[in-house]
Structure 1
Amino acid sequence: MKVFRKLVVAEFRTALREPVYFFFAFLFPVILITILGAVPSFREPSAELGGLRVVDVYAGIVIALSIAMIGLQGMPTVLATYREKGILRRLATTPVSPVALLGAQLTFSAITVVLSSIMVFLVSGIIYGVPLPESPLAFLVAVLLAVIGVFAVGLLIAALAPSGKAANAIGLILFFPLMFLAGLYAPREVMPDVVQRIADFTPLAAGERLMHEAMTGHWPNLLSVTVLLGYLLIFGAAAAKLFRWE
């Protein structure tokens, strides 16, 4: 546990030295929800969204965006860069195991997402009156489940990618279709039923669905929870097994 804590603290120190990471992890989701809320029609209740406003729905979607940026691009790129520069090779001579290293990355990133979520609701609530989730505990569970599902995919990318550029490219290829299915470009509620059904089995969309349900006072549905835990078990186990130090 002592080694694990040191790894998590080291990741936070490294991130604080990277202004680009800080911007996309903490500020970009807040800026995006602020811009979306500035559109007058997005502040009007919509029958298609069950009486919610578009800005209310997008509070969960921008958090999913933050999870995607960190889990599919930020984290895999960092770990693959560590391998490329020989940092992982040096760590291999220490008591640090692959599971501890990947777990530290997951923990650090999860804390980052939770802090980013707090900022999104704080700013959007003050400016546009976006309500807090009716079930705060359910929303926290939804965020954590989304993190472990998406980050398991990112960890597998990090375990296999030979370089930081390769990891970033793979993450980018996955980013856009997964964000489309999660409702970034149009809320899932207005998508055709077949697209929504496909989306239910993708990690970002499953996570966004859980967050949306928590916003209206519902607890996580069994399908989305099963999907996200499935990604953790399958992709997480593969990442630990296939992880290479060099």
Structure 2
Amino acid sequence: MKKVAVIVAGGAGVRMNTSLPKQFLLLEGKPVLYYTINTFLKAYDDMNIILVLPEEYIGAGQEIIDAYFDYGRIQITAGGGTRFHSVQNGLKLVEEESVVFVHDGVRCLLSTDLIHRCYEAAVEFGSAIPVIDSRDSVRILKEDDNEAIDRNIVKLVQTPQTFHSKILLPAFTIDHKEKFTDEATVVEAFGLKVHLVEGEVNNIKITQPMDLLIAEKIMSPE
């Protein structure tokens, strides 16, 4: 089945203390976004990419594509005011029945194995949401108090969140709500359940300066 990765890279560099959006920061001499795109292209020869960027950084994204990739497999579109609207813009370019991966552009250390697991589960179950166990104790806040909960029933959600296009595209026709923090919550609001798959501890999201140092260590452990 056709495979499309919608890579959402609309974030700013606020928590990185830089004016340059984190997806364009250098990691081992190349932009963070390079590694994300490269892994998806390596995962399947028939993978196509829809890259969603802030409108003012489309030119910078095009420069990365021109420098490193076959532009025939990559399209760029502008993001929206929220993640929901950015994904919605990307999905407008999905024209054929497909398995669609929606991935954070700054989760640049995912593996091709994870992409394969998500694809296979989405073909079988219609969706695949990668999750990992919580290593920390967890507490839930209440109005005037807080309460510990069993961390064994807590999962930390990652991307690529992967769906059959017959599920994802209709789900994104509903109205945006503040509770939509990822694609799984949108699909659930549409009335469908999602299927969880094992994620990867190294599939971190680059949001703060420390994350770049961690990513460099993971890439060059020696």
User: Which TM-score bucket, shorter chain as reference?
Assistant: under 0.3
Say which structure is richer in strand: 2
TM-score where L is the length of structure 1: 0.25
TM-score where L is the length of structure 2: 0.27
Say which structure is richer in helix: 1
Higher normalized contact order (CA 8 Å, seq sep 6+, divided by chain length): 1
